[in-house]
Structure 1
């Protein structure tokens, strides 16, 4: 998290532009007047929903990105799901950004996936398997990140319950939103249908 904040240390934008009829309902004034690390997930909610669609552009998105990601990981009840948040990276054309920024994002998603997998495995110990790891995978796929390393991680013995659950759901109970990340779904099918990464 700290590496992400350092890499994306930009000054607060003067304004967040947007569609005149939408900008007044998005609460952008709070995003510009509150210290970055104190912005709540709830305050970011409406911005994240509309960024690159009706409000916002790359400068404000990059400035807010570390806090958006932090809220998504540590305050998920007041933030958007990984598939929404990471999907915004594609709209931001993040592969055109500086290499250190791309690498910082990939490293962050590595850690996020591991945390999500740990959460799913902890729930598996209680008789229920969550879908946090799948959610991060789907978000990464929407951002056009190659999934291979995370799929390989699912092949590790300690991840077996999560992999087995995903394989069981693969034929018909996976998130329907995978349709919007077809390349990622192809990668997923390798491990989920053939049981190998």
Structure 2
């Protein structure tokens, strides 16, 4: 079990003091009263993707408030990060965390550990299905001040997975943040865009090339270097 797996499993306990809401308000055109009531009477950890998905996608827009999002967040994160809940996607959840002011919650230190573990999984676990751009978008929305540190960790290329993630991203098209949920006016977007175009990344790729003798990594690094140079 990875660190991320353990943190996901521990979410219910970490949020054990978050009070269950007595009512969830919502626009009657956008949310079923019966569906919202079902959320309230079903034990949180037993909620299915079909039951929780509509609420998770609409919360803080046409449904709900920060207090009820805090209560349901452990289950939302478990379902999203295991791939059981396809919508809302992770970057949208990151936006909603920022809207809710999660950094002021008692559970903020635990959530920060979970977000850090998620990024480390992106860089070190080849078995994960994560898209680095989407995860960075989600983390940048929730915690924009941490974007520079995450990019510095990526540029260390201490694991072949980190090289492969950059290779996959570079082959995907324009060298700029691409996820649909990026806020182009936001600090995280600007930091990532500048990193992709700046000399630090090129130097990191060149340093990684000099210290590896793995043919696959060498081919990937050459391709990335040529795309960056262009």
TM-score exceeds 0.5: yes
Give the match for residue 39 of structure 1. 47
- 3-state SS in 1 of match to 2:135: helix
Which of 91, 95, 99 pairs up with 1:87? 95
Contact 1:71 1:79 in 2 (8 A): no
- In the alignment of these two chains, the number of paired residues is 188
Q: What is aligned with 2:153?
A: 153
Coordinate RMSD, CA, aligned: 2.6
- Which residues of 2 match residues 88-167 of structure 1 at below 5 A? 88-98=96-106, 101-118=107-124, 121-122=126-127, 132-145=131-144, 146-155=146-155, 156-158=157-159, 159-167=162-170
Structure 1 gaps, min length 5: 124-129
Give the deviation of 1:89 after TM superposition: 0.8
Runs of 4+ in 1 over 6 A off after TM superposition: none
User: What is the deviation of 1:176?
Assistant: 4.2
Report the Cα distance in structure 2 between the residues aligned to 1:114 and 1:46, rounded to whole angstroms. 29
What TM-score results when the alignment is normalised by the length of structure 1? 0.81
SS in 1 for 2:29: helix
The answer to whether 1:185 aligns with 2:189 is yes
Secondary structure of the residue aligned to 1:147 is helix
Candidates 25, 30, 43, aligned match of 2:38: 30
Larger Rg: 2
For residues 168-191 of structure 1, give each alpha carbon's deviation from its aligned partner in whole angstroms, at most 9, with x where no partner exists: 544367224324463112221243
TM-score by length of 2: 0.70
Residue 5 in 1 paired to residue 12 in 2?
yes
Structure 1 Cα separation of the partners of residues 15 and 40 of structure 2: 16
Deviation at 1:60, TM superposition (A): 1.1
In structure 2, distance between residues paired with 1:73 and 1:94 = 18
How far does residue 79 in structure 1 lie from its aligned partner after superposition?
4.0
Question: How far off its partner does 1:85 sit?
Answer: 0.9
CA distance in 1, matches of 2:152, 2:100: 28
Residue 228 of structure 2 corresponds to none
Q: Distance in 2 between matches of 1:174 and 1:114?
A: 21
- Show CA shifts across 1:26-68 (max 9, x none): 8212211211111112211110111011110122111100100
